[in-house]
Chain A
Amino acid sequence: MKKNVIGLNLKYLDYAVCGVFLMAISVFLPYAALSDGRKNLISVMIDLIRSANGHALNLMVYLTVAASFVSFVFGVISFNAASVRVVKAWQAVQAFATAFWTFLLFASKTILESAGIAGEFMNKQLSFGFWIALIVSYTSLVLIMRMTKTNVGYIILTILGVIWMFPILWILLTALRAEQGYYVGYFIPKKLTLQNFANLFSNNSVIPFKKWWLNTFIVATASCVINTLIILATSFTLSRTRFAGRKAFMNVLMIIGLFPGFMSLIAVYNILKGLGLNQSLLALIVVGAAGAAMGYHVTKGFFDTIPKAIDEAAIIDGATRLQIFSHITLPLSKPIIVYTVLGSFLASWSDYIFPSMLFGDKQSSYTVAVGLYWLTDFRRIDKYYTQFAAGAVIVAVPIVILFIWLQRYYVEGLSGSVKG
């Protein structure tokens, strides 16, 4: 029976040591099936050192081999004398080893081909030695984490985080890419530049992006103020006052809401034409405000949670309903106001269907949503892809900052409304 160490769960030690032993062994097992037979990672490494034209990624192979052995050494040490510190260090080394083996899955082709070891390399040529190492490295990492009582969720979160950030990273890099064009055969740009942003805002640009951005900003700001007021007023009336027809009114709103919204856009367009508002930004604001009341649900749900006794006390003190609204309900509802403001700003900032139908070919009135979509048309995408990316970054950054900053209110606003 092994001795116990405080802070470690030694139940998993034996398995973990076996794991890293297997991983170290698989360095000597066939790594890939190449033209001159199966080779293990060691002989590939020797070939790489010998080959004249070294690739930066070759380092990956060396590191993989090194990390696997170091991890094995740590395994042996902790098998004999386990202490929290040693196992923690072992965990770090194993994490690196796991990461390197994973990288090899993606980098093998480049490494082998640029060193001239393989002609046309495909991942299905990777041999069982590699696959064993990959699986075992993850298993050992999990076992070691179990030992140090570290949450295994970190592995999942890291992998998911990489997947989630990948497209975002790509658009950022594309925005900064000096080489133009949609199709490039690599992920990281060869040359970075800010020219794409400058081009968007230069006066002789074909794309009136400055105008688009300004249009969107005007519409979004105006809609955000007006819509928020309308939503708050509607929700207050429906939540804090009782009158005949209140339920009926809510039911009518719900029924209207079940129709797909843009089904009637063509009629809205004709009505706007009749009012002389077609193809103008004002139309966007007016139509947005007209439909705003439909989004009362969340806000009303929040108002419902404010105790009625407060209102009653205020009425006894002689306050009018309007004063209750402005002096009591609103100050108590900061999270939901922020939520509503953010929601309406975002909605009009990224609305596509209605502006695209409203403005048709009139490019100078486009909002960024319509404009950027227009840029990704297959006829233009190759010429403007980097500028599209730059535009996307410019549009997204303010919103992301706003969103992350106000995240707390967003959650509070939502959870105020969610009830069992």
Chain B
Amino acid sequence: MKEYKNRNLITIFTKGDIFSKISYIVCGASNMRHGQIIKGLLFLCLEISYIFFMITKGAGMLQALTTLGDNLQGMQFNEEIGIYEMHAGDNSMLILLYGVVALVISLSFIAVWYFSIVSGEAARKRAAEGKKNRGFIEDVKSLANENVRYLLLAIPVIGLLVFTVMPLIYMILMAFTNYDQEHQPPGNLFDWVGIKNFITLLSTGDRLSSTFWPVFGWTLIWCIFATFTCYFGGIILAMIINSKGIRFKKVWRTIFIFTMAIPSFISLRVVATMLGEKGIFNVLLQKWGFTQTALPFLSNANWARVSVILVNVWIGVPVTMLMVSGILMNIPGELYESAKIDGAGPITIFRKITFPYMWFVTTPYLISNLISNFNNFNTIYFLTGGEPHTLDYYKGAGQTDLLVTWLYKLTKDSNDYNLAATIGIIIFVISAIFTLVTFDGSGSLKNEEGFQ
């Protein structure tokens, strides 16, 4: 029999032998036929347990997803004893969660099913070519060699599935429900509402959208300022420390690295207490005669926004400095020598040599920094907690809140999970578009094997 190319689900079915076709229904049939008994049995066991799961629980779980529960918790008259009884209603949240679990299990099974068919077909092909198929023990041994990926990636993949992918699907689905304060299980049910949340959040007029847009605007301003102040500050600092004639370079670097080494929750909390109305900054400024009354570092919206950016400089500049130091040393010295001979001043040298080189090397870093600042939870949350509050905003949101900190507050304080999920999806879309646009032009992802 002539072997075919392009092995896929359709060709295997049409071009394979009868056992290949049986494998579509009875997983592992082809493996068992061609000498891989244990492997085939394993596939079969997985299939049987999946079917068992679906019959006993899974189907019900998936089916309940469509309604998210109908029975409200409440009192019901029990005719036998003649009194009203508390009767537990459906818990929409658990229904949604179980539904997602069943969904993920089903998807995993489809992956196993596909894998078993391909594996069975490979076994058939080897048998047809007259080669001996690997036994189970040899298969296990191959885990240390050409199949090492199954061994090394198994735990990470399972971990990601259970604690990242599954929760993520759950939260994405939640964005399309009305799971807010007024629909809290178990006392209440929530239901699918389509894209209503997106519309209320994005369209103008509503109180929510008049909170969303200002918060979004500030997030963008923050993201740009926070990234570029730290970036240029770090470059300048690194250039000063690395310039000729500065002695004790290591000592200087260590002084600045202190802020980087101290966990940010500590340094930010400390600075937050220092910036308070009775904090040491205000005390000293008054004592030194710069001001008579306390300055509203964190209590006035505009002051707070500037303070947050400045404190971020304090935290972030050393990070860039440390990173850039290595790159600066890689710039060929001859470039500087010849520039000096040609009479270029320090500013021209920076503009024409240092900066273009730096820009070229650090673009990926800059991009990822922009995204991480867009989602910079720590700085804002530990420093201001999003405050100062304003009556113009939907409750909880403050004037230094970023989208992420607002999201966190919506989950933790006001239990508006649907809104939080909606904001999460919006953040994702923005980051994804930004990443796609920028990384498309950057070579660092494409030249993966450039160094090998």
The interface of chain A, by Cβ under 8 A from chain B, is 105-110, 121-123, 149-151, 153-154, 156-157, 160-161, 163-165, 167-168, 170-171, 182-187, 230, 233-234, 236-237, 241, 243, 249, 253-256, 258-260, 262-268, 270-271, 274, 286-287, 289-294, 304-308, 320-323, 325, 346, 349-350, 352-353, 357, 369, 372-373, 376, 381, 385, 388-389, 392, 395-396, 399-400, 402-404, 407, 410-412, 414-415, 418-420
Residues of B near A403 (CB, < 8 A) are: 257, 260-261
Contact of A392 with B270 at beta-carbon distance under 8 Å, contacts A168-B259, A260-B424 already known: yes
Residues of B near A268 (CB, < 8 A) are: 163, 167
User: Apart from A156-B240, A258-B431, A372-B266, what are 18 other A-B pairs with CB-CB below 8 Å?
Assistant: A108-B289, A123-B290, A151-B244, A157-B240, A157-B246, A163-B314, A187-B280, A241-B149, A258-B371, A258-B432, A260-B375, A268-B167, A350-B266, A392-B269, A396-B261, A407-B257, A419-B447, A420-B444
Residues of A near B272 (CB, < 8 A) are: 376
Residues of B near A289 (CB, < 8 A) are: 159
Task: Tell me the bound Cα distance from A323 to B382 in angstroms.
Answer: 45
Whose C-beta in chain B lies nearest to the C-beta of A235?
A: B152
Contact of A306 with B254 at beta-carbon distance under 8 Å, contacts A352-B265, A376-B269 already known: no
Residues of B near A160 (CB, < 8 A) are: 237, 256
CB distance from B14 to the nearest CB of A (A): 22
Let me know if B193 is at the binding interface, CB within 8 A: no
Give the one of B166, B240, B289, B365 with max A CB within 10 A. B289
**Chain B 422-451 interface 0/1 with A at a Cβ cutoff of 8 Å (1 = within):** 001001100110010000000110011111
Determine whether the beta carbon of B262 is less than 8 Å from that of A399. yes
Contact of A262 with B377 at beta-carbon distance under 8 Å, contacts A121-B289, A157-B241 already known: yes
Determine whether the beta carbon of B263 is less than 8 Å from that of A170. no
**A185 interface neighbour in B93, B159, B274, B283, Cβ under 8 Å:** B283
Closest 7 CB pairs of A and B: A290-B159, A264-B167, A109-B289, A350-B263, A267-B167, A403-B261, A293-B156
The interface of chain B, by Cβ under 8 A from chain A, is 93-94, 97, 100, 144-146, 148-149, 151-153, 155-157, 159-160, 162-168, 170-171, 237, 240-241, 243-246, 252-267, 269-274, 276, 278, 280, 283-284, 287-290, 292, 314, 318, 322-323, 325-327, 360-362, 364-365, 371, 375, 377-378, 381-382, 404, 407-408, 411-412, 417, 420-421, 424, 427-428, 431-432, 435, 443-444, 447-452
Residues of A near B166 (CB, < 8 A) are: 267, 271
Task: Tell me the bound Cα distance from A346 to B432 in angstroms.
Answer: 27
- Pairs across A and B, CB under 8 Å, 8 listed: A183-B278, A236-B152, A241-B148, A268-B167, A291-B164, A350-B264, A389-B270, A418-B326
Determine whether the beta carbon of A418 is less than 8 Å from that of B265. no
Task: Tell me the bound Cα distance from A157 to B246 in angstroms.
Answer: 10
Determine whether the beta carbon of B273 is less than 8 Å from that of A381. yes
Determine whether the beta carbon of B283 is less than 8 Å from that of A410. no
Residues of A near B420 (CB, < 8 A) are: 263
Task: Tell me the bound Cα distance from A322 to B427 in angstroms.
Answer: 39
Determine whether the beta carbon of A153 is less than 8 Å from that of B273. no
Give the one of A151, A156, A163, A167 with max B CB within 10 A. A167
Residues of A near B157 (CB, < 8 A) are: 293
**B287 interface neighbour in A109, A151, A420, Cβ under 8 Å:** A109
